[in-house]
Structure 1
């Protein structure tokens, strides 16, 4: 039986080796600048926050500082709110939503919470508008001991000293049409598995932790974002991306078991946001604002409870 090809790299049914990974890498092109878009924005916030370089990616001739911003009035007795964006570099609103939160909303939490924000965890992928890092590894399946992804390992080292003080963690993501046209086929090809077409949810949704769900917290985020953009409905099977919808716009994943960024701490409140920038009903402005609103709603709920 001949297995039809579905991706231009590799042999169907066979996982990639070094040659296929090199071929994949040769196809990656820089589309935008981490320095211009992100580093300069972070530098512009330096008067209000402490900017810390928590690692550096040296990928061939490219070198990327991994930057985080933290409250200038950091007080050890206060709870920590952790915000991460750009774990998947192509998910633009995660990066710019985190920066928007810092620019427009963060001052409201002075003296109430310590903020630690990593706006762009994966700068190499940000520039290439890609999901993976240079080694064709998904950082958001790599938050575990001995991580194969430098991006993930660096963030885990940053957070480890304050793990037990993080009250809330908001990890900002997008679901895009390119998930179905490029990234899921590439994943199947890389792993030598058949590609099974799926659907793309039209709207915003969140992912709770199935190991320690906080349904009221998730609904507070959904309610706030619904004022900005539409919430993704369940599909005909009552699911979103193959997972049962447990409440409007909410699904559950075993975050730590899957090596997902939102599972890197023991925070009581944690969520992964997902916006849909390719929807005809949403604009980039709405998506960035939805992310910032989600961050505020998550921190507000956590501090109130």
Structure 2
């Protein structure tokens, strides 16, 4: 599929996609990797150490993907809950791999201090096709509203319903990639019948906090830990990162609930969204995964001691 086909398949330059355009987009999304091999196999290996449960499934055009969550084995209702989510955007690889690495490498060290709940890959269809959207050309990370406006969001909301009021910290693992600027933002503009206005991609790790409860000391503690692994993104000439004002080094704020973001799915007092930059010449996949693991640990450690 050529760039012209991806971004200008609609009939007029400022006309939102019709059903035929969406069908054209969907038919051109090819599988590039395996959810079963990359994710389900690693989760299966965790059964001896954690409780694993299917909390839903995603179904598109005859394909079914089980959605799995991993919990602390010695779940104790007297303890707070730490929620880790990854792969809300399927193409953001270190969000998925970082969540799995955390489970394999660090999670057991929290036994007896916090109940862990980890959903490593919320959007498996998109993971396999290295896409931001789901098969309906919808962004799952704008769909955490009410009961959920996508299959991916609705399943997680149902899983978390019994835990509302008990989640102490939620860290949602993401990446900001060069393809945001070259593919996904232009595609969104075409889908919505809007003019694409070029932006820039920050070089480095940063956090998106909740403007309604920014918890800047919490955000700063995470960035300080991550800075030992990879560099923190600087602000641009306007004092911004991806169009939002920088409120602390490497920290911007969004209105989680108004935007329907995954990080706003609970009322946890400590929440953040990580953003790793995998296309940096100073980063590698291993560095990006490690940064996610360090961020998760720093978030949990701060929340438990605050």
Aligning the two structures, in what range does the TM-score lie when normalised by the shorter sequence?
Answer: over 0.9
- Would you say 1:144 and 2:145 are equivalent positions? yes
SS in 1 for 2:234: coil
- Aligned position for 1:28: 29
Regions of 4+ moved over 4 Å: none
| Alignment check: 8 A CA contact 1:6 1:195 kept | no
- Aligned position for 1:45: 46
Q: Which structure 2 residues correspond to residues 163-202 of structure 1 after superposition, within 5 A?
A: 163-202=164-203
Structure 1: gaps of 5 or more residues: none
Cα distance per residue 1:139-193 (max 9 Å; x no partner): 0000001432100111111111101100000000000000000000000011111
Counterpart Cα distance in 1 of 2:164 and 2:13: 42
Query: Quick one: structure 1 residues 6 and 96, their matched pair in 2 at CA, closer, same or farther if it must change by over 3 Å?
Result: closer
- Aligned position for 1:294: 295
Counterpart Cα distance in 1 of 2:265 and 2:87: 15
Deviation at 1:5?
A: 9.8
Counterpart Cα distance in 2 of 1:61 and 1:157: 23
Deviation at 1:59?
A: 1.0
| Alignment check: 8 A CA contact 1:82 1:115 kept | yes
SS in 2 for 1:7: helix
Counterpart Cα distance in 1 of 2:48 and 2:5: 53
- Aligned position for 2:9: 9
CA RMSD, 1 decimal: 1.2
* Equivalent residues, number: 302
Counterpart Cα distance in 2 of 1:45 and 1:8: 44
Cα distance per residue 1:271-293 (max 9 Å; x no partner): 00000000000000000000000
- Would you say 1:248 and 2:249 are equivalent positions? yes
| Alignment check: 8 A CA contact 1:16 1:191 kept | yes
Deviation at 1:54?
A: 0.4
Cα distance per residue 1:238-288 (max 9 Å; x no partner): 000000000100000001110000001000000000000000000000000
Cα distance per residue 1:113-159 (max 9 Å; x no partner): 00000000000000000000000000000000143210011111111
Cα distance per residue 1:47-73 (max 9 Å; x no partner): 111111000112112110000000000
Structure 2: gaps of 5 or more residues: none
Counterpart Cα distance in 1 of 2:113 and 2:148: 33
- Aligned position for 1:162: 163
Counterpart Cα distance in 1 of 2:212 and 2:278: 29
